[in-house]
Structure 1
Amino acid sequence: MDIIGIGYLGLETARMDEWRTYGPEVLGWQIGESPQNDRDSLYFRIDDRRHRFAFHPGKSDRLAYVGWEARGKLEFQAAVQRLRDAGIEVTQGDAELRGVRDVVRFRDPVGYQHELFYSQKWMPRSFIPGRPHGGFTAGARGLGHVVLITPEFPPELEHFLTVVMGFHYYGAGAGKGKTAFYRSKLNNSTSHDIAYGHGPNKMGIQHIGLFVNSLRDVGETYDIVKQRNLPMMMTLGQHTQDPHVSFYHFSPGGFAFEIITELEPWHEDGFELNPEKLSTWGHEQVGPILGPSVRAPEEVLDPQGLEILARWRRPA
């Protein structure tokens, strides 16, 4: 599939007021205009796209959907056909609500909701950060990456990601446990768009990675997080497999944001890396790796997702 990367993310939250403050004041996001038929939701912009994050009212904080961007109409149509040929149930989404030309919805083999779209609305030079900020590196590379926890890691999940979606398998990195990183076919800028980590009887977002335009943007966000005494996961540091500097802190939703800047452009290594350490320097772990956003599947998935997951779950 000719997929650029993650175009947008949808989340449910019971903390709308906290996100309304945290998004602009801590991360530097712009509050966008909510669609006429979705006024109760909160939409955020990080660049000239209509939105990159949508927060919908819910009883708890959880992932609602991952929106993948196809390069264009023909690539979108070919991708939809590929999903159907693979026996995956595809339903029509609400293009007006998402601000796109067309969108469909489908599930991965462990029950997470995904969407595929093309041609999202945008206006050049329209992004105004919520606080002084140098901007986010998104555009043609997607908004960043997301790491999800799954209670089961069946072969069908890797088949779905690499064969059906056509993603590149990047490797397991230096993380503990069973983890796998993947990037979309058209992504030549970063090591991964999505990763799945194995957590028995656990599901949810572990963290979201956002790229900012400069080291100053990382440092100023780091200072704001410390000034507000927001819980931290890892201090400033540099991963072994990426020439980037980042830190991790927890959001109102209980998952972490990794704020990242590139020290130099990422490049493919040509082979699967097996780092001996997670980071070359820094990244001291000062908080839990799994925040309160990672919970039992029954608290994270809706009934349809749980039905899909049930075929893989094993008795304790």
Structure 2
Amino acid sequence: MEKEMDIIGIGYLGFECTDLEAWRSYGPEVMGFGIGNNPDNDPDSLYLRMDDRRFRLAFHPGEIDRLAYIGWEAKGRLEYMAALKKFRDEGIEFQIGDEELCQKRGVKELIRFFDPVGFRHELFYGQKWTPQSFVPGRRHGGYLAGKRGLGHIVLMTPEYNRELEHFLINIMGFRWYGSGAGKGKTGFFRSKLNDYTSHDIAYGHAPGRMGVHHIGVFVNSIRDVGETYDIVKEKELQLLMTLGQHSQDPHVSFYHYNPSGFAFECIGEIEPWHDDGFELNPEVMSVWGHEMVGPMLGSFIKTPEEVRDPDFKPSNQ
């Protein structure tokens, strides 16, 4: 019996960044991230840790703030090989990462490819880690990552069509979760092995705009949510939404903007998430809180011409 293309979740995220020094202080002081060691072949970037993995967030010097890649973790080598076969059978173009790139990412093997919108993705297995090595940048209870991935990402896309949903469901093997209570066209998806959260990735339709809306990260306790909230207010950072609880998730969270202009959603679980067994259609986005106090789209959201990878070629060309 052949192995399937089983994805755990988001293993790491990479960004091009115009102000690394801002992140060097913001990451540890506000979010409690640890500073990671740079690979020998990448001395100029900034690597941030959330757990015992070598890194979870990478920031590379750039002329514009933009998403560089989303790294998806395959369960292991056999699942990774099954993914390569799936991509070849479906005619999906991909590049195999060379030894230098694998060393930068700290993984055994990886491939790189684009989704139909033009966001670059990577699929890997075997990221380096050291048990009990994570040291937060400030007093912090740590993050829920590990076997569930670093959290979720919500992207704004200039096009939302059947081709995108086909890619996510039939190629990547994600499960459709629903469209939520927000206005407009939005799709939420979670990886096949994710039984911990409602979604790993979501795409929101924003004609003429493209980029990261927010990244959701799960902390170990409500105290970590509250202390981060206090620090954000003390430093007078821009809030997007106040403390609240979404309809579909038994979690408490808030949103604020970081130095690159996208938001972090800091999330504390008040009870384990479970699949309701049917597609939800909530009346409201949140059952309490989540007052909108900042701009819905941050400065990270730009035109596709500004942020699309120059190597991306639309499928209709």
Conservation of the 8 A alpha-carbon contact between 2:120 and 2:309: no
CA distance in 1, matches of 2:252, 2:219: 10
Instruction: State the 1:99 CA deviation.
Output: 0.2
Secondary structure of the equivalent of 1:38? Answer: coil
In the alignment, which residue of structure 2 is the partner of 1:206?
A: 213
In the alignment, which residue of structure 1 is the partner of 2:86?
A: 82
Conservation of the 8 A alpha-carbon contact between 2:107 and 2:125: yes
Among 154, 173, 177, which residue is 1:147 paired with? 154
Q: Which runs of 4+ in 1 moved over 3 A?
A: none
In the alignment, which residue of structure 2 is the partner of 1:65?
A: 69
Conservation of the 8 A alpha-carbon contact between 1:111 and 1:304: no
Q: Which amino acid aligns with 2:263?
A: A
Instruction: State the 1:262 CA deviation.
Output: 0.5
- 1:250 and 2:257 matched: yes
- 1:174 and 2:178 matched: no
What TM-score do you get using the length of structure 2 for normalisation?
A: 0.96
Matches within 5 A, 1:108-187: 108-187=115-194
Q: Which amino acid aligns with 1:31?
A: I
CA distance in 2, matches of 1:148, 1:80: 25
- 1:27 and 2:31 matched: yes
What TM-score do you get using the length of structure 1 for normalisation?
A: 0.97
Q: Cα deviation per residue 1:33-88 (whole Å; 9 max; x = unaligned)?
A: 01011000000100000000000000011100000000000000001111121111
Identity %: 65
Secondary structure of the equivalent of 2:52? Answer: coil
Number of aligned residue pairs: 310
Q: Cα deviation per residue 1:134-162 (whole Å; 9 max; x = unaligned)?
A: 00000000000000011011211000000
Conservation of the 8 A alpha-carbon contact between 2:28 and 2:138: yes
Conservation of the 8 A alpha-carbon contact between 2:119 and 2:309: no
Secondary structure of the equivalent of 1:17? Answer: helix
Conservation of the 8 A alpha-carbon contact between 2:185 and 2:205: yes
Among 88, 102, 122, which residue is 1:95 paired with? 102
- 1:53 and 2:60 matched: no
Coordinate RMSD, CA, aligned: 1.0
Instruction: State the 1:302 CA deviation.
Output: 2.1
CA distance in 2, matches of 1:112, 1:57: 18
In the alignment, which residue of structure 2 is the partner of 1:263?
A: 270
Q: Cα deviation per residue 1:188-213 (whole Å; 9 max; x = unaligned)?
A: 00000000000000000000000000
In the alignment, which residue of structure 1 is the partner of 2:314?
A: 308
Secondary structure of the equivalent of 1:120? Answer: coil
- Identify unmatched segments of 5+ residues in structure 2: none
